[in-house]
Amino acid sequence: MDITDRTVFIAGATSGIGLELARRFAAAGSAVIVGGRRTDLLDRLADEGFATVPIDVTDGAGVERARDAILESHPDLDTIVTMSGVMMTEDLRDPGHFGATEKTIDTNLLGTIRVVDAFTPHLIGRGAGTVITVTSGIAFLPFPPMPAYAASKAGVHAYSEALRAQLDGTGIEVCELVPPAVATIPEHARRNPRALDLAAFATEVMDLLRADPTPREILVKGVLMHRWAERDGTYDELVAQRSQTLAMLPGRQ
């Protein structure tokens, strides 16, 4: 895709990967609208020159209000990125985990669907556009301390596949960004030394996005072992390795 001349809405760009990609799209020449719940961060990003919109993807009516505000100010919107997500650990031996399950599915899976639904009629009307969904290496290789997270991202993967098939012929392309662990804050790098540097990750992502046609999946080198573990016959061994991290759950120490 041409990343130099886009009008991009990123739901979930007040911090982390979304914010870094917002900056990269803007630096490449695209107009970017940043969305999220934290209005203090939105104010700061507005000072930086971004268009901003408050949005909570768990609130369907709120998503539609945000959509209306964006299309009013940016009728040429052609790209949406469903970045909003939460990552929570859950101990499945404790039924009290269910609150985290609900929040994870509501934000990561239903939130993605709400945002896609809100903008699909506009993009179909334009006859061209790009939807970038965001999953995770964990969609393809579970990380046992985060079961609902894995389920939500596997769900977004499956949904993206169906969305691409259903939108075939409309001019809308569907691209799935599949990040591995990325150190968005210094604490991540301390906790997981294998997490990718955010800037290096974003550079690789933008290089891959530039390809024409836009790849169906954006797979940086660091996620290939997760994405293809089942095909490569390493799945069982890697899940067993990752299961050792269950010791990090508070009830297991």
Ligand X SMILES: NC(=O)c1ccc[n+]([C@@H]2O[C@H](COP(=O)([O-])OP(=O)(O)OC[C@H]3O[C@@H](n4cnc5c(N)ncnc54)[C@H](OP(=O)(O)O)[C@@H]3O)[C@@H](O)[C@H]2O)c1
105: its two tokens: 């599915």
At residue 120's C-alpha, the angle toward residues 163 and 139, to 5°, is: 35
**Choice from 89, 136, 148, 227 touching ligand X (CB under 6 A):** 136
**89 is a site residue for ligand X (CB under 6 A):** no
227: its two tokens: 């994405």
Helix (H) or strand (E) segment spanning residue 113: helix 111-126
**148 is a site residue for ligand X (CB under 6 A):** no
Burial class (CB in 10 A: 0-12, 13-18, 19+), 212: exposed
**Choice from 3, 17, 51, 116 touching ligand X (CB under 6 A):** 17
Helix (H) or strand (E) segment spanning residue 204: helix 198-209
**Choice from 26, 28, 37, 92 touching ligand X (CB under 6 A):** 37
Alpha-carbon gap, residue 137 to 146, rounded angstroms: 12
**85 is a site residue for ligand X (CB under 6 A):** yes
Which of 58/120 has CB closer to ligand X? 58
**147 is a site residue for ligand X (CB under 6 A):** no
Q: How far is the CB of 199 from ligand X (least distance, A)?
A: 13
**Choice from 13, 118, 163, 202 touching ligand X (CB under 6 A):** 13
Alpha-carbon gap, residue 55 to 70, rounded angstroms: 11
**86 is a site residue for ligand X (CB under 6 A):** yes
38: its two tokens: 């934290």
> How many CB atoms are closer than 10 A to CB 40?
8
Q: How far is the CB of 180 from ligand X (least distance, A)?
A: 6
From 80-88, 123-131, 226-234, 240-248, span contacting ligand X (CB under 6 A): 80-88
Burial class (CB in 10 A: 0-12, 13-18, 19+), 101: middle
**Window 181-210: contact mask with ligand X (x via CB under 6 A):** xx-x--------------------------
**Cross-strand pairs, 79:** 8, 130
**Choice from 28, 87, 88, 110 touching ligand X (CB under 6 A):** 87
**84 is a site residue for ligand X (CB under 6 A):** yes
| DSSP annotation of 128 | -
**Choice from 21, 23, 36, 131 touching ligand X (CB under 6 A):** 36
The answer to whether the beta carbons of residues 146 and 87 sit under 8 Å apart is yes
**Choice from 1, 80, 123, 134 touching ligand X (CB under 6 A):** 134
Which of 61/127 has CB closer to ligand X? 61
In sequence order, the 6+-apart residues with CB closer than 8 A to the CB of 100 are: 88, 89, 90, 148
From 22-30, 94-102, 120-128, 178-186, span contacting ligand X (CB under 6 A): 178-186
What does the binding site for ligand X look like in residue numbers (CB under 6 A)?
11-18, 36-38, 41, 55-58, 83-87, 107, 111, 134, 136, 179, 181-182, 184
